[in-house]
Amino acid sequence: MPFTPEQMRAYLESLKELREDIALGRTLPSIWHLPIPAEGEPLPKPNDLRKIDRMIRVVESELAQLELVVYQQLVIERIQPGGPKAVTAIDNLGTAMTLTDGESPKWSPDGKRIAYMSAQPGAKLQISIIDGQGGTPIDFSGNPSVHEMNPSWSPSGDEIAFESDRGKGWQIYARQTSAPGSPPRAITSGFGHHVDPAWSPKGDLIACSIFSGPPTWSWTDAQIYLVPADGSQSSRVQVTNDPNLVDPFGASWSPDANRIAFHGGPKANYPQQQYVYVVDIGSTGIARQLTTVSPSGLPSWSPDGRSIAYWAWPNQQDAGVYVVDPAGTSTPKKWPGTGNSDDSPNWQ
Protein backbone atom coordinates (compact mmCIF):
# COMPACT_ATOMS: atom_id res chain seq x y z
CA MET A 1 0.00 0.00 0.00
CA PRO A 2 1.43 3.46 -0.89
CA PHE A 3 2.33 5.72 2.03
CA THR A 4 1.63 9.42 2.42
CA PRO A 5 4.50 11.86 3.05
CA GLU A 6 3.29 12.25 6.64
CA GLN A 7 3.49 8.49 7.22
CA MET A 8 6.93 8.29 5.65
CA ARG A 9 8.23 11.15 7.81
CA ALA A 10 6.90 9.45 10.96
CA TYR A 11 8.58 6.19 9.91
CA LEU A 12 11.87 7.99 9.28
CA GLU A 13 11.82 9.68 12.69
CA SER A 14 11.17 6.34 14.40
CA LEU A 15 14.11 4.75 12.60
CA LYS A 16 16.37 7.60 13.66
CA GLU A 17 15.20 7.29 17.28
CA LEU A 18 15.88 3.55 17.16
CA ARG A 19 19.40 4.13 15.83
CA GLU A 20 20.15 6.73 18.51
CA ASP A 21 18.95 4.41 21.30
CA ILE A 22 21.16 1.58 20.02
CA ALA A 23 24.19 3.84 19.57
CA LEU A 24 23.85 5.16 23.13
CA GLY A 25 23.38 1.70 24.59
CA ARG A 26 19.91 2.37 25.90
CA THR A 27 17.72 -0.53 26.98
CA LEU A 28 15.32 -1.39 24.17
CA PRO A 29 11.86 -2.95 24.47
CA SER A 30 11.51 -6.56 23.38
CA ILE A 31 9.31 -5.37 20.49
CA TRP A 32 10.02 -2.09 18.77
CA HIS A 33 6.90 -0.45 17.35
CA LEU A 34 7.24 1.56 14.16
CA PRO A 35 4.36 3.55 12.60
CA ILE A 36 4.82 1.66 9.32
CA PRO A 37 6.07 -1.91 8.95
CA ALA A 38 9.08 -2.34 6.67
CA GLU A 39 7.52 -4.42 3.91
CA GLY A 40 9.41 -7.65 3.35
CA GLU A 41 12.13 -6.83 5.88
CA PRO A 42 12.51 -8.05 9.46
CA LEU A 43 13.23 -5.44 12.11
CA PRO A 44 17.00 -4.86 12.48
CA LYS A 45 18.76 -6.50 15.37
CA PRO A 46 19.91 -4.10 18.11
CA ASN A 47 23.56 -4.35 17.05
CA ASP A 48 22.97 -3.99 13.32
CA LEU A 49 23.57 -0.25 12.94
CA ARG A 50 24.66 -0.58 9.32
CA LYS A 51 21.33 -2.08 8.34
CA ILE A 52 19.46 0.69 10.15
CA ASP A 53 21.62 3.31 8.42
CA ARG A 54 20.83 1.69 5.09
CA MET A 55 17.11 1.71 5.85
CA ILE A 56 17.29 5.38 6.84
CA ARG A 57 18.98 6.28 3.55
CA VAL A 58 16.38 4.35 1.56
CA VAL A 59 13.47 5.99 3.38
CA GLU A 60 15.03 9.46 3.00
CA SER A 61 15.41 8.88 -0.74
CA GLU A 62 11.85 7.60 -1.14
CA LEU A 63 10.49 10.49 0.92
CA ALA A 64 12.36 13.01 -1.23
CA GLN A 65 10.79 11.52 -4.35
CA LEU A 66 7.36 11.37 -2.74
CA GLU A 67 7.50 15.02 -1.71
CA LEU A 68 8.08 16.00 -5.34
CA VAL A 69 4.46 14.95 -5.90
CA VAL A 70 1.87 17.28 -4.40
CA TYR A 71 -0.39 15.23 -2.16
CA GLN A 72 -4.00 15.56 -3.31
CA GLN A 73 -7.23 13.91 -2.34
CA LEU A 74 -10.68 13.53 -3.84
CA VAL A 75 -13.89 12.26 -2.41
CA ILE A 76 -15.91 10.18 -4.86
CA GLU A 77 -19.10 8.19 -5.11
CA ARG A 78 -18.24 4.50 -5.44
CA ILE A 79 -20.69 1.72 -6.31
CA GLN A 80 -20.10 -1.18 -3.95
CA PRO A 81 -20.50 -4.70 -5.41
CA GLY A 82 -23.95 -5.91 -4.42
CA GLY A 83 -24.43 -2.98 -2.09
CA PRO A 84 -25.26 0.73 -1.89
CA LYS A 85 -23.15 3.61 -3.15
CA ALA A 86 -20.33 4.63 -0.84
CA VAL A 87 -18.65 7.93 0.02
CA THR A 88 -14.98 7.17 -0.59
CA ALA A 89 -11.88 9.32 -0.04
CA ILE A 90 -9.07 8.53 -2.47
CA ASP A 91 -5.68 10.23 -2.81
CA ASN A 92 -3.47 10.65 -5.86
CA LEU A 93 -1.50 7.56 -4.89
CA GLY A 94 -4.68 5.49 -5.30
CA THR A 95 -5.14 4.86 -1.57
CA ALA A 96 -8.90 4.71 -0.89
CA MET A 97 -10.92 4.76 2.31
CA THR A 98 -14.65 4.05 2.42
CA LEU A 99 -16.29 6.43 4.89
CA THR A 100 -20.01 5.64 4.75
CA ASP A 101 -22.92 4.79 2.44
CA GLY A 102 -24.01 7.78 0.36
CA GLU A 103 -23.62 9.73 -2.86
CA SER A 104 -22.71 13.15 -4.33
CA PRO A 105 -20.10 13.95 -1.63
CA LYS A 106 -18.65 17.46 -1.19
CA TRP A 107 -15.66 18.51 0.94
CA SER A 108 -16.06 21.40 3.34
CA PRO A 109 -13.85 24.44 2.56
CA ASP A 110 -11.43 23.53 5.36
CA GLY A 111 -11.13 19.96 4.05
CA LYS A 112 -12.22 18.41 7.34
CA ARG A 113 -15.84 17.39 6.73
CA ILE A 114 -17.90 15.93 3.90
CA ALA A 115 -21.55 16.62 3.11
CA TYR A 116 -23.34 13.98 1.07
CA MET A 117 -26.76 12.57 0.16
CA SER A 118 -28.05 9.58 2.08
CA ALA A 119 -31.27 7.60 2.17
CA GLN A 120 -32.71 4.39 3.41
CA PRO A 121 -34.28 2.14 0.72
CA GLY A 122 -37.58 3.66 -0.35
CA ALA A 123 -37.00 6.83 1.70
CA LYS A 124 -36.50 10.38 0.49
CA LEU A 125 -32.97 11.67 0.00
CA GLN A 126 -31.46 13.58 2.92
CA ILE A 127 -28.15 15.33 3.55
CA SER A 128 -25.67 14.11 6.14
CA ILE A 129 -22.25 15.32 7.25
CA ILE A 130 -19.33 13.09 8.22
CA ASP A 131 -15.79 13.75 9.37
CA GLY A 132 -13.23 13.41 6.58
CA GLN A 133 -11.57 10.56 8.49
CA GLY A 134 -14.85 8.73 9.06
CA GLY A 135 -16.97 8.32 12.17
CA THR A 136 -20.65 8.77 13.00
CA PRO A 137 -22.56 10.88 10.44
CA ILE A 138 -24.67 13.87 11.47
CA ASP A 139 -28.21 14.09 10.08
CA PHE A 140 -28.14 17.58 8.58
CA SER A 141 -31.62 17.53 7.01
CA GLY A 142 -33.75 16.15 9.82
CA ASN A 143 -36.95 16.09 7.76
CA PRO A 144 -37.59 12.75 6.03
CA SER A 145 -40.87 14.00 4.55
CA VAL A 146 -39.06 16.04 1.86
CA HIS A 147 -36.06 15.55 -0.41
CA GLU A 148 -32.87 17.51 0.23
CA MET A 149 -30.21 16.93 -2.42
CA ASN A 150 -26.92 18.06 -3.95
CA PRO A 151 -25.22 19.91 -1.07
CA SER A 152 -22.86 22.85 -1.67
CA TRP A 153 -20.84 24.48 1.12
CA SER A 154 -20.59 28.23 1.55
CA PRO A 155 -16.96 29.47 1.36
CA SER A 156 -16.94 30.04 5.13
CA GLY A 157 -18.35 26.58 5.83
CA ASP A 158 -21.13 28.12 7.93
CA GLU A 159 -23.96 27.12 5.58
CA ILE A 160 -24.85 24.43 3.08
CA ALA A 161 -27.05 25.14 0.06
CA PHE A 162 -29.18 22.35 -1.40
CA GLU A 163 -32.18 21.69 -3.61
CA SER A 164 -35.47 20.55 -2.11
CA ASP A 165 -39.07 19.82 -3.11
CA ARG A 166 -40.44 21.22 0.19
CA GLY A 167 -42.19 24.14 -1.56
CA LYS A 168 -43.45 24.93 -5.04
CA GLY A 169 -41.40 22.69 -7.30
CA TRP A 170 -37.68 22.28 -6.71
CA GLN A 171 -35.98 25.30 -5.18
CA ILE A 172 -32.64 26.18 -3.59
CA TYR A 173 -32.41 26.55 0.18
CA ALA A 174 -29.61 27.00 2.72
CA ARG A 175 -29.18 25.96 6.35
CA GLN A 176 -26.61 26.79 9.01
CA THR A 177 -24.19 23.91 9.56
CA SER A 178 -24.35 24.65 13.28
CA ALA A 179 -28.11 23.98 13.32
CA PRO A 180 -28.83 20.59 11.67
CA GLY A 181 -32.53 19.98 11.13
CA SER A 182 -33.51 23.63 11.57
CA PRO A 183 -35.86 25.31 9.06
CA PRO A 184 -33.81 26.43 6.05
CA ARG A 185 -33.92 29.83 4.41
CA ALA A 186 -35.11 30.10 0.81
CA ILE A 187 -32.64 31.18 -1.85
CA THR A 188 -34.95 30.88 -4.89
CA SER A 189 -38.67 30.70 -5.64
CA GLY A 190 -41.04 31.17 -8.55
CA PHE A 191 -41.55 29.51 -11.90
CA GLY A 192 -39.26 26.72 -12.96
CA HIS A 193 -37.17 24.23 -11.09
CA HIS A 194 -33.88 25.34 -9.51
CA VAL A 195 -31.39 22.52 -8.98
CA ASP A 196 -27.66 21.71 -8.61
CA PRO A 197 -26.55 24.67 -6.46
CA ALA A 198 -22.88 25.66 -6.44
CA TRP A 199 -21.78 28.40 -4.03
CA SER A 200 -19.36 30.92 -5.53
CA PRO A 201 -15.87 31.25 -3.98
CA LYS A 202 -16.68 34.86 -3.04
CA GLY A 203 -19.88 33.79 -1.26
CA ASP A 204 -22.20 36.33 -2.84
CA LEU A 205 -23.70 34.17 -5.59
CA ILE A 206 -24.98 30.65 -6.13
CA ALA A 207 -24.91 29.03 -9.56
CA CYS A 208 -27.80 26.68 -10.33
CA SER A 209 -29.57 25.10 -13.27
CA ILE A 210 -33.12 26.30 -13.97
CA PHE A 211 -35.55 24.41 -16.18
CA SER A 212 -39.29 24.46 -16.91
CA GLY A 213 -41.83 23.04 -14.51
CA PRO A 214 -45.27 21.71 -15.41
CA PRO A 215 -46.79 21.22 -17.84
CA THR A 216 -43.68 20.74 -20.02
CA TRP A 217 -41.12 19.42 -17.48
CA SER A 218 -38.48 20.08 -20.12
CA TRP A 219 -34.90 19.33 -19.08
CA THR A 220 -33.66 20.43 -22.49
CA ASP A 221 -34.54 24.10 -21.87
CA ALA A 222 -32.30 24.21 -18.79
CA GLN A 223 -29.71 26.97 -18.43
CA ILE A 224 -27.22 27.84 -15.70
CA TYR A 225 -27.96 31.06 -13.82
CA LEU A 226 -26.39 33.03 -10.97
CA VAL A 227 -28.69 34.02 -8.10
CA PRO A 228 -27.93 36.11 -4.97
CA ALA A 229 -26.87 33.91 -2.08
CA ASP A 230 -28.66 36.15 0.41
CA GLY A 231 -32.04 35.04 -0.92
CA SER A 232 -33.03 38.54 -1.98
CA GLN A 233 -33.83 37.33 -5.50
CA SER A 234 -33.05 40.85 -6.63
CA SER A 235 -31.67 39.57 -9.89
CA ARG A 236 -30.55 36.49 -11.72
CA VAL A 237 -27.89 36.37 -14.39
CA GLN A 238 -27.90 33.80 -17.17
CA VAL A 239 -24.51 32.15 -17.65
CA THR A 240 -25.06 29.60 -20.43
CA ASN A 241 -26.77 30.67 -23.63
CA ASP A 242 -25.82 28.25 -26.39
CA PRO A 243 -28.67 27.18 -28.70
CA ASN A 244 -26.69 24.11 -29.72
CA LEU A 245 -26.15 22.91 -26.13
CA VAL A 246 -28.70 21.19 -23.89
CA ASP A 247 -28.91 19.93 -20.33
CA PRO A 248 -26.23 22.10 -18.63
CA PHE A 249 -26.01 20.82 -15.06
CA GLY A 250 -23.43 20.21 -12.32
CA ALA A 251 -21.84 23.67 -12.15
CA SER A 252 -18.38 23.90 -10.57
CA TRP A 253 -16.72 27.30 -10.01
CA SER A 254 -13.11 28.10 -10.78
CA PRO A 255 -11.34 29.36 -7.62
CA ASP A 256 -11.04 32.87 -9.11
CA ALA A 257 -14.84 32.91 -9.71
CA ASN A 258 -14.35 33.80 -13.39
CA ARG A 259 -15.41 30.50 -14.98
CA ILE A 260 -17.80 27.61 -14.45
CA ALA A 261 -17.33 24.02 -15.56
CA PHE A 262 -20.43 21.88 -16.12
CA HIS A 263 -21.69 18.92 -18.10
CA GLY A 264 -24.17 18.86 -20.97
CA GLY A 265 -24.43 17.74 -24.56
CA PRO A 266 -24.87 18.86 -28.16
CA LYS A 267 -28.52 19.37 -29.06
CA ALA A 268 -28.23 17.29 -32.22
CA ASN A 269 -26.86 14.18 -30.46
CA TYR A 270 -28.10 14.33 -26.88
CA PRO A 271 -28.21 12.21 -24.73
CA GLN A 272 -25.97 9.88 -26.75
CA GLN A 273 -23.16 12.43 -26.43
CA GLN A 274 -22.37 14.11 -23.10
CA TYR A 275 -19.27 16.19 -22.34
CA VAL A 276 -17.69 18.61 -19.87
CA TYR A 277 -17.75 22.29 -20.86
CA VAL A 278 -16.28 25.54 -19.51
CA VAL A 279 -17.98 28.93 -19.79
CA ASP A 280 -16.64 32.38 -18.86
CA ILE A 281 -18.75 34.44 -16.45
CA GLY A 282 -20.01 37.59 -18.16
CA SER A 283 -19.36 36.25 -21.66
CA THR A 284 -21.78 35.56 -24.50
CA GLY A 285 -22.72 32.31 -22.79
CA ILE A 286 -21.21 30.12 -25.50
CA ALA A 287 -19.28 27.37 -23.73
CA ARG A 288 -16.09 25.65 -24.78
CA GLN A 289 -16.12 21.84 -24.91
CA LEU A 290 -13.39 20.50 -22.62
CA THR A 291 -13.63 16.72 -22.98
CA THR A 292 -13.78 14.56 -26.09
CA VAL A 293 -14.80 11.23 -24.54
CA SER A 294 -18.52 10.55 -24.23
CA PRO A 295 -20.07 10.16 -21.80
CA SER A 296 -18.14 12.42 -19.44
CA GLY A 297 -19.40 14.79 -16.78
CA LEU A 298 -19.67 15.76 -13.09
CA PRO A 299 -16.69 18.17 -13.16
CA SER A 300 -14.93 19.51 -10.07
CA TRP A 301 -12.39 22.34 -10.15
CA SER A 302 -9.21 21.85 -8.09
CA PRO A 303 -8.52 24.38 -5.29
CA ASP A 304 -5.42 25.71 -7.07
CA GLY A 305 -7.37 26.20 -10.31
CA ARG A 306 -4.93 24.12 -12.36
CA SER A 307 -7.06 21.03 -12.92
CA ILE A 308 -10.59 19.80 -13.41
CA ALA A 309 -11.54 16.30 -12.25
CA TYR A 310 -14.46 14.59 -13.96
CA TRP A 311 -16.03 11.21 -14.59
CA ALA A 312 -15.63 9.54 -17.99
CA TRP A 313 -16.56 6.22 -19.57
CA PRO A 314 -14.48 5.71 -22.74
CA ASN A 315 -15.13 1.98 -22.27
CA GLN A 316 -15.74 -0.33 -19.35
CA GLN A 317 -12.05 -1.07 -18.78
CA ASP A 318 -10.88 2.55 -18.88
CA ALA A 319 -13.85 4.18 -17.13
CA GLY A 320 -13.15 6.19 -13.99
CA VAL A 321 -12.16 9.63 -12.77
CA TYR A 322 -9.91 11.73 -14.98
CA VAL A 323 -8.05 15.03 -14.57
CA VAL A 324 -7.28 17.62 -17.24
CA ASP A 325 -6.14 21.25 -17.28
CA PRO A 326 -8.96 23.82 -17.73
CA ALA A 327 -7.68 24.79 -21.18
CA GLY A 328 -7.84 21.18 -22.33
CA THR A 329 -4.30 21.29 -23.70
CA SER A 330 -2.96 18.39 -21.64
CA THR A 331 -3.73 14.72 -22.12
CA PRO A 332 -6.37 13.66 -19.57
CA LYS A 333 -4.90 11.45 -16.85
CA LYS A 334 -6.82 8.80 -15.02
CA TRP A 335 -6.87 9.22 -11.25
CA PRO A 336 -5.02 6.26 -9.67
CA GLY A 337 -7.23 3.62 -8.14
CA THR A 338 -10.48 4.66 -9.86
CA GLY A 339 -12.55 2.52 -12.20
CA ASN A 340 -15.97 1.94 -13.68
CA SER A 341 -17.63 2.00 -10.24
CA ASP A 342 -16.53 5.57 -9.48
CA ASP A 343 -17.94 9.01 -10.29
CA SER A 344 -18.88 12.39 -8.72
CA PRO A 345 -15.33 13.51 -7.83
CA ASN A 346 -14.86 16.48 -5.52
CA TRP A 347 -11.49 18.00 -4.55
CA GLN A 348 -10.39 18.41 -0.98
Q: What is the pLDDT of residues 160-169, one digit of tens each?
A: 999 999 987 8
Contacts 24+ apart (CB under 8 A), 51-60: 52/15, 52/18, 52/19, 52/22, 53/19, 55/15, 56/12, 56/15, 56/16, 56/19, 59/8, 59/11, 59/12, 59/15, 60/12
Cα–Cα separations (whole angstroms), residue 18 to 52, 137, 144, 294? 8, 40, 55, 54
Dihedral of CA atoms 179, 183, 189, 192 in degrees, nearest 10, equals 90
Which amino acid, one-letter code, is at 179? A
Residue 217 in this model has a pLDDT that exceeds 70? no
Note whether 228 and 299 are same-domain residues: yes
Note whether 95 and 59 are same-domain residues: no
Number of domains in the chain: 2
What's this model's pTM, rounded to 2 decimal places?
A: 0.80
Note whether 84 and 221 are same-domain residues: yes
Note whether 298 and 220 are same-domain residues: yes
* Structural domain ending residue among the three candidates 66, 88, 105: 66
Note whether 190 and 205 are same-domain residues: yes
Note whether 61 and 111 are same-domain residues: no
Say how far apart CA 145 and CA 158 lie, in whole Å: 25
* Structural domain ending residue among the three candidates 66, 92, 112: 66
Relative orientation angle of helices 49-66 and 5-23, to the nearest 10 degrees: 160
Note whether 85 and 58 are same-domain residues: no
Q: What is the pLDDT of residues 40-71, one digit of tens each?
A: 445 555 556 777 788 788 777 777 666 555 66
Note whether 61 and 174 are same-domain residues: no
Domain extent, residue 120, equals: 73-347
